Structures are given as C-alpha cells and as structure tokens.
C-alpha cells in the first residue's frame, strides 16, 4: 500500500483555520485518502476536465480542489456554500 503526503497550500490553510468544523471534515477525508488511495471511493471525488492530476472532492455542497503529483496531495483551496 502506498501512502501519500498531504500538503495544504496557503489559501487552504487559511480556510481550515477560519472554518474549523468544515475544515476538519476535509482534513480527515484527505488523511484517509492519503493513507489508502482506495478510500477515495467513500467520497465524491471527480477529475477536473482539461487538467492533469487535478480533482475536486465534495462533502455535502462544499468542495475542495486538489492535485496529485508523485507521492504528494496538494490541497489548493475550498469552495463552501
């Protein structure tokens, strides 16, 4: 089993600090996916069209954008309603 390292870009870090409850849900989701990539099946994850290695994960109506390169997951930002 290959594990990934989750890296939060500055806008994502700021969102998590300001929105602890929603940020924690996404944080745990990313940790689960990083530990075992088959866990993404538990979440609504879709590949973004026209982008290499770019994805969106949905939790309710809220979404997070991330990219996967080599053994790293880069969390780019959030769009929460």
Task: Give the span between the Cα atoms of 16 and 27, in whole angstroms.
Answer: 8
Give pTM, 2 decimals. Answer: 0.86
Cα-Cα end-to-end distance for the chain: 35
CATH number, domain of 30, equals 3.30.2310.20
DSSP per-residue codes, 24-81: HHHHHHHHHHHH-GGGGGGSEEEEPTT-TTEEEEEETTEEEEEEEETTEEEEEEEE--
Q: Specify the number of domains making up the chain.
A: 1
If you average pLDDT over residues 1-11, what whole number do you get? 85
Domain that holds residue 43: 5-79
Share of the chain above pLDDT 70, in %: 96
If you average pLDDT over residues 46-67, what whole number do you get? 92
Q: Do 66 and 57 form a contact (C-beta atoms < 8 A)?
A: yes
**Per-residue model confidence as pLDDT tens digits over 60-71:** 889 999 999 989
């Amino acid at each position: 089993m290959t594990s990934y390292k989750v890296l939060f870009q500055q806008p994502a870090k700021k969102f998590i600090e300001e929105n602890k409850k929603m940020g924690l849900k996404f944080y745990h989701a990313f940790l689960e996916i990083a530990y075992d990539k088959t866990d993404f099946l538990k979440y609504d994850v879709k590949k973004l069209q026209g982008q290499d290695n770019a994805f969106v994960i949905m939790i309710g109506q809220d979404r997070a954008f991330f990219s996967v390169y080599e053994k790293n997951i880069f969390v780019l930002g959030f769009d929460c309603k």
